[in-house]
Amino acid sequence: MRIVDETDFGLGWLEETSLARTSHALVHEGRLWLVDPIEPRELEERILALGEPAGIIQLLDRHERDSAAIAARLGVPLHVVPRELPGTPFEFRPVLRNRFWREVALWWPERSALVCADVLGTIPFFRAGREPAGVHPLLRLRPPQSLLGLDPEHLLVGHGGGLDTGAASAVDEAVRHARRRIPRWLVGLPAALRRHG
């Protein structure tokens, strides 16, 4: 477990496994929001020092991770795939909503930060060739257009480290070319599986 994505509005922690599961802590006006959290173990004290726990946000229906247990321990509500969260600066962009997959992305306009669960990732399994971020393989045929035009300065993802440089172009390129780059993704898949499988 290591700290990633440190900013003046929060940080992330990454589990150093093949899936590189990543969680984030966002701070607004002294209130702390944990997004798709896995147990931070030895990092918990540092994370909780960022602010007063206000809630847990689960962006993907199957991303339970340790969300319920952490919410219960901290005595805060768990918001699963929210459409809105009144009293916060967060907006939620639809990614997919059907009986098999419900996901939203968190957009924080004030901080120009886009937080994704599975729709985008930065580990090789998601990426086609040298692209810095890639659309989830199961979403490449019909990538979510709701992520276009946001112009984020920060991209935080649920699998891998985030991007603070070139985030806007990485998101737009990944979504706009997701389908066209499927052959390139397939060519790189065996190496990605060897490295992260």
Q: pLDDT tens for residues 112-167?
A: 999 999 999 999 999 999 999 999 999 999 999 999 999 999 999 999 999 999 99
With a pLDDT cut of 90, the percent of the chain lying above it is 90
Average pLDDT, rounded, for the chain: 95
In angstroms, the Cα distances linking 180 to 132, 141, 191, 193 are: 16, 9, 20, 21
Strands 22-28 and 31-35: antiparallel
- Give yes or no for a contact between 41 and 50, defined as CB atoms under 8 angstroms apart: no
Whether 197 has a pLDDT exceeding 60, the answer reads no
**Residues 6 or more apart from 28 whose CB is under 8 A from it?**
9, 88, 89
Whether 195 has a pLDDT exceeding 70, the answer reads no
The alpha carbons of the chain give a radius of gyration, in whole angstroms, of: 16
Beta strands in 31-146 (DSSP E): 31-35, 52-58, 78-80, 91-97, 102-108, 113-115, 120-121, 134-135
pLDDT digit string (tens) for 29-63?
999 999 999 999 899 999 999 999 999 999 999 88
**Other beta carbons within 10 Å of 85:** 17
Alpha carbons 112 and 104: distance in angstroms, whole number: 17
- Summarize the confidence of residues 88-103 as an average pLDDT: 96
Query: pTM for this one?
Result: 0.95
Report the pLDDT value the prediction gives residue 191, as an integer from 0 to 100: 76
Number of residues assigned to the chain:
197
Residue-range domains of the chain with CATH: 2-196 (3.60.15.10)
Select the more confidently predicted residue: 13 or 184. 13
